[in-house]
Amino acid sequence: MSILLFFATLLSLVGQATRMNPGCMEEVVENRVRWGQIDLAGGYEGFVALLECEHLNRLVLVSMPDGEMFVGKVGDCAAAQDREMLIGRNFAVDLSWPLAVKYGVVDDVVEGVSVYFLAEMRELVRECY
Mean pLDDT for all residues in the chain: 87
HEC profile of the chain: CCHHHHHHHHEEEEEEEEECCCCHHHHHHHHHHHCCCCCCCCCCCEEEEECCHHHCCCEEEEECCCCCEEEEEEEEECCHHHHHHHHHCCEEEEECHHHHHHHCCCCCCEEEEEEEEHHHHHHHHHHHC
Q: What is the pLDDT of residue 12?
A: 77
Domain residue spans of the chain: 3-128
For the segment 40-62, what is each residue's pLDDT rounded down to a tens digit?
A: 998 899 999 999 999 999 999 99
Q: Domain spanning 3-128 has what CATH number? A: 2.40.40.10
For the segment 22-39, what is each residue's pLDDT rounded down to a tens digit?
A: 999 999 999 999 999 999
**Averaged pLDDT for residues 77-86:** 94
Q: What is the pLDDT of residue 129?
A: 52
